[in-house]
Chain A
Amino acid sequence: MILLVPAIIFLVLLFLYPFAYGLYLSLTNAKGDGTFANYLRFFADPRDFRTIWTTLWIAVPITFINVGLAIPFAYYMRRGLRGEKLVTFFLIVPITLGTVLISEGMLSYMGPKGWLNQFLMAVGLVKDPVRFTHNYLGVVISLGLSGFPYAFLMLLGYISGINPDLEKASQMLGASKLQTFWKILFPLMVPGIAISFCLNFVMAFSVFPSAVLLGQPSGPTRVMAIAAYQWAFEKFNFNAASAISMVMAAIELIVITLVLVWRGRMYKGASIVGKG
């Protein structure tokens, strides 16, 4: 038991205390008196309240896209591929680079005069440069670049842990490849899909740097994190900022709960995959 103490201290200092302090801040005013005013203000202010939908409108589609793309990729690479190391390398690079570097790269590569637009125009696919940056699309693309590798690597781990004989057994019982996927592999991947969906969603929902660098922080991509940042460091109202982050946490919890409920409905069997 005593061995747990450092871990508990660590958790309390780094996680519980900041969270409790934030909760306390959100429920008080500048003088320290208890009040719900911070929350009431947030929900009453249309410009702030709207950030919930703005953020969801960015986070939900890209999470579906990331996880949805990761499933077929993981499926085709479940038994290994030639050049798998190279593929994995290119997938891990975006994780190591960090959001800011990706955003900088995208700004020049996908900008109106960037290579991508020059190529598209040279091929004749478009006449005028497509706007990939400083809008909704830019934020979504950058979240895809940084979120997809996580989803893919996590699902690859899950699907390659499934006993390969299950697929053979299903086939011998008369199932086609597609039937085997939907009836056997997909249900067994559900726990992995749920977890990678949650992680991807939380990452996308708390998006900040790419929403500023690649989006339009004043309007269409004014996400909740930007609103909280503005209250804290432009208006120096930490109470209002804390209230916004508490609302963020609440929404994330709701979404995670929904995903876990779905997982529970889909997957009733034992949680251990592999030994069969």
Chain B
Amino acid sequence: MSDFKRISVRGMSKRFGEKLALQDFTLDLYKGEFVTFLGPSGCGKSTALNCITGLLPISSGEIYIDDECIDDSKRKTAPEKREFGMVFQNYALFPHLTVFDNIAFGLRLRKHTRKSVIEKVESALRLVHLEGYSNKYPTQMSGGEQQRVAIARCIVLEPRLLLLDEPLSNLDAKLRVELRYELKALHERLRVTTIYVTHDQTEALALSDRIVVMRAGKIQQVGTPEEVFSDPANLFVADFMGFKNVWKGTLQSLAESPDHLDAVVGLGVTTLRASLHYPQGDARREAITAAFSSGAPVVTAIRPEDIHLRPAQGMNALPCTATLVEYQGQASQVSAGFDPSSPERNAGDRIDFRSAQRVGVGEALQLGVAPDNILLFPASDLATGGQAQERAAP
């Protein structure tokens, strides 16, 4: 087992015929880190994973482990020589082999002695809580158990890098949460450097040290779960992280101070005061000041959780009428239309919020949102963020 400090991917691109599936992908992974590639289907996250494993040849760029180049788009170390482990969405257990033989597969290829194979397989089975499953065949087990065997099959080889390609997507909701806890515990314990691919932001936030948000083959933002969740770099990331209230408007005034911007946005029916924590040097700050000086439209991004049924002091008022109420147990998901609706307003604009209190359809509401809870992005983000709009709510 060769030790290392860092895996660096530099300017990696992947082309399928005319289509550029992955563009200028650059990322440093540090030993022991848990990094998640997050994005909607078709964003290139699985392509990036397969390129790093070497299963897909890369079109340009380089991959290094410390100073050792394992792929420079011309010459590459074969996938079987990289000492990486991979877990697949469909488990990919060998159906003709028992659980024991599945886990022993890699050890036997590495010519371990009989005794060491037995010891290692048994300790791997203990690690994933499957003692006593040695002689079962994959088809005799549930999906969750099969995926745990697949994980054991990888970690028994102590890989330099563990790659998981949507490992929980084939499981039902309850098992998914259970296995997610187990993955977390396993990583806390073994500290295997891990890349995890998913389209589920809950999984990404729960598991990762860092998240790489991707769209259309490009990295949108790299950051800790907290950074990505509360400080999204653009409208796409914001939308993916649940900022569902995206309303078009124009900047009426903008006051600059070193670490934030105070804006007033006209929505047609009402105006909003927004306090933006965009420090100097932030690309978002430049985009908003540019939009103000050119008079270009902007869009809001507000979480449903930040819109309140009973506005407190200092909040923006949102007069509206409830149009749709979805009961979801502890709270209801409510959609509302602005009052009074006016022809210049985009008919698609609606207010999404959550309410613990029962709200009736047609009820007139006076909602409120704090200036601190509003993000603004240039409306030109909408065009490139179109894909995000199509994405079904999680």
Contact = CB atoms under 8 A, between A and B. Distances in A.
B92 A269 contact: no
B90 A173 contact: no
A174 interface: yes
Interface in A166-204: 166, 168-176, 179, 183-184, 187-188
A169 B84 CA distance: 11
Among A166, A171, A267, A276, residue most surrounded by chain B Cβ atoms (within 10 Å): A276
Contact of B53 (A165, A170, A172, A183): A172
B97 A172 contact: no
Contacts of A173: 80, 85, 105-106, 109, 153-154, 157
Among A163, A169, A171, residue most surrounded by chain B Cβ atoms (within 10 Å): A169
B95 A170 contact: no
Contacts of B80: 171-176
B94 interface: yes
Contacts of B92: 163, 165-166, 168-169, 276
A272 interface: yes
Nearest to A267: B96
Given A173-B105, A173-B106, A165 B95 contact: no
Interface in B179-235: none
B379 to A, nearest CB: 42
Contacts of A269: 95-97, 137-139
A270 interface: yes
A179 B80 CA distance: 11
B240 interface: no
Contacts of A176: 80
Contact of A172 (B84, B91, B94, B146): B84
B19 interface: no
Contacts, number: 81
Interface string B88-107: 10111111110000000110
A172 B195 CA distance: 15
A119 B140 CA distance: 59
B11 to A, nearest CB: 24
A272 B95 CA distance: 8
A171 B137 CA distance: 21
A173 B83 CA distance: 8
Nearest to A169: B92
Interface residues of A, number: 25
A273 interface: yes
Contacts of B174: none
Given A269-B139, A270-B139, A172 B95 contact: no
A188 B85 CA distance: 23
A268 interface: yes
A174 B93 CA distance: 15
Contacts of A163: 90, 92
A11 to B, nearest CB: 32
Contacts of B57: none
A189 to B, nearest CB: 10
B17 to A, nearest CB: 13
Given A172-B84, A270-B137, A276 B106 contact: no
B115 interface: no
Contact of A276 (B81, B86, B93): B93
Contact of A165 (B84, B90, B105, B106): B90
A75 B252 CA distance: 67
A79 interface: no
A188 B90 contact: no
A126 B29 CA distance: 65
A30 B280 CA distance: 110
Contacts of A184: 94
Contacts of A276: 90-93, 95, 138, 146
B227 to A, nearest CB: 31
B96 A188 contact: yes
A188 B137 CA distance: 14
A268 B94 CA distance: 12
B79 interface: yes
B114 interface: no
A172 B110 contact: no
A175 B109 contact: yes
A272 B96 CA distance: 10
A194 to B, nearest CB: 14
A127 interface: no
Nearest to A167: B92
Interface in B97-154: 97, 105-106, 109-110, 137-140, 146, 150, 153-154
The list of the 6 closest CB pairs from A to B, nearest first, reads: A269-B96, A173-B106, A270-B139, A165-B92, A169-B92, A172-B86
14 contacts: A163-B90, A163-B92, A168-B79, A169-B92, A169-B94, A173-B106, A176-B80, A267-B96, A268-B96, A269-B138, A270-B96, A270-B139, A272-B95, A276-B90
Given A168-B92, A269-B139, A276-B93, 10 more contacts: A168-B55, A169-B92, A169-B93, A169-B153, A173-B106, A174-B106, A179-B109, A269-B137, A272-B139, A275-B90
